[in-house]
Structure 1
């Protein structure tokens, strides 16, 4: 319990510094969810607005999600640090705080939002005209018809992590 408390205290201090030190930066959102994304100035956390149903879904996943993080610390799934609801003037705004999976210090040549589906999964003309567009599944298939070449060790580590993440997801969904 002391370890958990000390980790939480350290996290709380980091989060508070990240949120309060400088203004958040709003990110453009190419997705259809209508969520707004914010990035902390130190590039460590992303804050995403969520609808009531998504907040309920995250709450239902909590126990299994926590167990998965303990057994699979190298997960590629987002790490959720908090779910908050702010109420003002009869309106509720729900936000989830998560790690930034794509910090700006990591050089990116291309960025893809892959869902594993091809239905309506092509970046719009507007998105493609951006300096750093977010491409989708059909764009990936067009641009990389033979896939991406990875070193064997990298490929094996990536596949192992993805398999664990998928097994965890199947376990979560079997409970709900």
Structure 2
């Protein structure tokens, strides 16, 4: 009888691969970890047929203690909170942002800080994703409350307009808690394109009182100019009659929507790319609050200089962009871009969007309006006025500067 020797199988334990999020500070590490966790969790949640009232109050919270016991990569204790996940997932779909692109853009490398002119003590801190597609900004708890106040109406408006709007394209809102310190972050789409250098940049409110850039601002390579500077430069946004009509129709709908929500102090950011310029370096400045601090309006602000001329990674590695090769405007990369008309004397591309829409006209703004009226006189075009007046003046100003 033959005997068979059974070979003993030696099982080797395989340590599961854990994705590490290394960044220069804990805020970035936890933010990237949180985005990765959020998108992963959402893949297990079926998309609702329609959003319910509770979706606009919902949130998810994750608490992590002794994470991997490795403080070099992540803090030992942190919390991550996502606000209204189903609502913002639906908004991302409306704005043609798929989860894969969103995840890779916000977690492949840590967000990049942008230079800021915000006042000391300001809660605003502008950042951008490594590929310059998305803009991340720290906001105050008051702004979080204002987002919650308007979110249902904002979502409904985006649906009704089929995302055809100049308003910020909000994509996600989060809270990061580290060592009892809470930071709120709002993610939106980039206004300017990584593919076209911006040669002139304006922040327009339709007001003339204290609406010119300071000498310090003008000394920068790419200053953020204002209403009086725009008029002094004799600038005109020349897009042709058809595009002008569409632009003004969209602007009218947007400003009436903002007025109905009692929102004021928003701006039209105008970035101008000169198509005849030999300067091919891509500028990346981004979206909401991507401007100089406005002493007249107590706005928070952000970058004024040029982005890194050499992007860390080509956008094709994240997503396919069919308009990239032939220089046409891509709906995903340049949703706010408009080309000048063929017969216009200046071949330009304009990037136009409304920013800073989270200022509510309440008691504080009413008192501010009274104080400025006393200071400058009842006929002065101060920026702080009632929402309907602000919207009408804003529309009239843009009508005058477009052809």
Query: What TM-score results when the alignment is normalised by the length of structure 2?
Result: 0.40
User: 1:92: how far off?
Assistant: 1.1
**1:25 alignment counterpart:** 112
The answer as to 2:228 corresponding to 1:138 is yes
Q: CA RMSD in A?
A: 2.7
Distance 1:30 1:150, change over 3 A: farther
Runs of 4+ in 1 over 4 A off after TM superposition: 1-10, 30-34
**2:336 alignment counterpart:** none
The answer as to 2:134 corresponding to 1:48 is no
Instruction: Pick one of 204, 218, 222 that aligns with 1:128.
Output: 218
The answer as to 2:244 corresponding to 1:161 is no
Instruction: Pick one of 95, 100, 104 that aligns with 1:13.
Output: 100
User: 1:109: how far off?
Assistant: 2.5
User: 1:85: how far off?
Assistant: 1.0
CA contact (8 A) 2:113 2:126 kept: yes
Counterpart CA distance in 2 for 1:16 and 1:126 is 38
Q: Provide structure 2 residue ranges, at least 5 long, that are not aligned to the other structure.
A: 1-46, 51-85, 264-361, 363-403
**1:94 alignment counterpart:** 184
CA contact (8 A) 1:26 1:39 kept: yes
More helix by share: 1
User: 1:14: how far off?
Assistant: 1.9
CA contact (8 A) 2:133 2:194 kept: no
Q: Secondary structure at the match of 1:135?
A: coil
Distance 1:119 1:28, change over 3 A: farther
Counterpart CA distance in 1 for 2:118 and 2:228 is 15
Q: Secondary structure at the match of 1:75?
A: coil
Counterpart CA distance in 1 for 2:151 and 2:203 is 24
Between structure 1 and structure 2, the one with the greater Rg is 2
**2:155 alignment counterpart:** 66
CA contact (8 A) 2:208 2:228 kept: yes
CA contact (8 A) 2:123 2:140 kept: no
Q: Provide structure 1 residue ranges, at least 5 long, that are not aligned to the other structure.
A: none
User: 1:36: how far off?
Assistant: 1.2
What is the aligned length? 175
| Structure 1 residues 56-106: Cα deviation after superposition (integer angstroms, max 9, x where no partner) | 111111000001111221201101111111111222111100011112213
Distance 1:116 1:43, change over 3 A: same
